[in-house]
Amino acid sequence: MQFNIPPSVPSSVQTESHMPIPNVTQQMIYSNINDTNLRLQRLEHIMNDKLSKLDLLDMFAEKFEKFENHISKMSNEIDDIRNAQQKHSQIISKQENHHHNIEDRQYPREINDRRKKLIPKMKEFKRQRLHAKLVYDKLLVDEVYNPEAHREPPPTIPGQPLPNNGGD
């Protein structure tokens, strides 16, 4: 096994006549090195510009990813709301009188009894798409409610004038 050893490089460049290279040639070499360094610096500057643009692209990619995540979360929330709304509509459709309860109102017992008797009839009119509502103990169907026309007169005290009679 034999290794070829490259010839040794002399510390100064010499010609075939073993004479040192004149200074002009060294200046040319230094000039070429300086040109090469300038080119490398320009190339480095161009590469840095391209890398900074890539960094911007990475930043935009991160922002778009966050945006997509927010959109998907919003889509999930909308689906959840839609599902809850469907569940509520099914519950409401099963509960026929979900908004016609009158237990929380305070009427005298006899008025409340009359109202309870009118509720099934009112529901029947509403199913027929008629405008029906209970006013006190009266069922009004397709009629504009005029509270003055349907109000019962207030109780009177003997010896006092009746209200709205012109002060007689």
Q: Which residues have C-beta within 8 Å of that of residue 161, sequence separation ≥ 6? A: 167, 168
Q: In a 10 Å sphere around its CB, with 0-12 CB exposed, 13-18 middle and 19+ buried, how is residue 72 labelled? A: exposed
Question: What confidence score (pLDDT) does residue 75 get?
Answer: 94
Six token digits for residue 152: 């019962």
Look up the domain containing 87 and give its range: 19-95
E-state strands within 14-165? 132-135, 138-141
Tell whether pTM > 0.85.
no
Query: Are 60 and 118 in a shared domain?
Result: no
CB of 123 closer than 8 Å to CB of 133: no
Q: Which residues have C-beta within 8 Å of that of residue 138, sequence separation ≥ 6? A: 118, 150
Query: Are 77 and 113 in a shared domain?
Result: no
Question: What confidence score (pLDDT) does residue 157 get?
Answer: 67
* 4 occurs within a structural domain: no
Query: Are 78 and 126 in a shared domain?
Result: no
Q: Name the domain count of the chain.
A: 2
Query: Are 24 and 84 in a shared domain?
Result: yes
Mean pLDDT for back-to-back runs of 10 residues, the chain (168 residues): 52 55 73 90 92 87 93 94 90 66 66 86 85 83 56 62 54
CB of 139 closer than 8 Å to CB of 118: yes
CB of 126 closer than 8 Å to CB of 132: yes
Query: Are 51 and 86 in a shared domain?
Result: yes
Query: Are 110 and 49 in a shared domain?
Result: no
Query: Which residue carries 């006092």 as its tokens?
Result: 160
Pick the last residue of a domain from 95, 119, 135: 95
